[in-house]
Amino acid sequence: MNATNKWKSYGSATIAILVIWWGFSYILPNLNLPTPLQVAISFPKVIKEGLWWHFLVSFYRVAASILLGTTLALPIGLIAGRSDRLNKIVSPFISLLYPIPKIVFLPIFILLFGFGDLSKIALISFIIFFQIVVTTRDGAKAVSQQMIIAMHSLNAGNWDIYRHTVIPATLPKVFTALRITTGTAIAVLFFAESFATQAGIGYAIMNFWGRFDQVGMFCGIVAMAFLGIIYFEFWDLLEKTFCGWTKLV
């Protein structure tokens, strides 16, 4: 999808969401659901009153978590996908821990790291780690053995094989995993920020809700949506930069 068609699709989806939102605000007046226009008018004011700071805090937490989780997961996934010995060590841990909803570990991380940023970053990194490991391992395992043999015939070493064959073949799947895990990370972040903290979009949303400020609450929801969109667009940009060769295949 080229850039023009992409933004047209975004525009159409945005209009559809706004129409549905506007419809519910009038169909269900007892819920005091603000209209899109009310939120749009109030959004700049809410941003200036402090939502911008909560946005930056949440952005930092997600960025730090993705960086930490991916940095730890990529090497393990790449090697486990090509090494039966390491895969036999890694697989039992994945089978036991991956299916567990990671949000249940939040109390443990709070006990270990306190109520500050570290516990939230550690939890989200934990979630990202498993998703990236699984995707990277399966992607590396799926690399054609004929390609590996061809690289060996050219006297390529292990690092050359990883650099020119395994990593490029695995990267598209890694970016797909990053898109999926970013959505999960932001959802978990909202839950983690909704108590025992005084910063972050999750805290701001729950604070508005506790004060029965529906407009402010929806401004926070819109800000969290923007957070997700920024990361999704960032992954798209990186994929186009590093995986442009996929369009030639």
Residue 96: domain span: 40-248
73-113 tens-digit pLDDT: 988 888 888 788 888 888 888 888 877 777 788 888 888 88
pLDDT, residue 5, reads 66
pLDDT of residue 30: 64
127 in Cβ contact with 102 (< 8 Å): yes
* CA distances, 4 to each of 34, 76, 240, 244 (Å): 32, 38, 15, 18
Q: What is the residue whose two structure tokens read 């979009």? A: 201
* pTM for the structure as a whole: 0.82
Same domain, 26 and 48: no
For residues 89 and 148, state if they share a domain. yes
pLDDT at res. 147: 75
Asked if residue 4 and residue 60 are part of one domain, the reply reads no
- Which residue in this structure is represented by tokens 């590396």? 140
The domain spanning residue 240 has which CATH number? 1.10.3720.10
State whether 20 and 68 are in the same domain. Answer: no
Whether 26 and 105 share a structural domain = no
Number of domains comprising the chain: 2
3-state secondary structure (DSSP) of residue 54: helix
User: Are residues 9 and 108 located together in one domain of the fold?
Assistant: no
Q: Please report the pLDDT score of residue 109 as a whole number.
A: 84
The angle at the Cα of 21, spanning 204 to 200, to the nearest 5 degrees, equals 15
pLDDT at 248: 45
> Are residues 2 and 84 part of one domain?
no
Residue 189: exposed, middle, or buried by beta-carbon count in 10 A (0-12, 13-18, 19+)? buried
Predicted local distance difference test score (pLDDT) of residue 92: 84
**How far from chain centre, in Å, is Cα 235?**
10
User: In which residue ranges of the chain is pLDDT below 50?
Assistant: 248
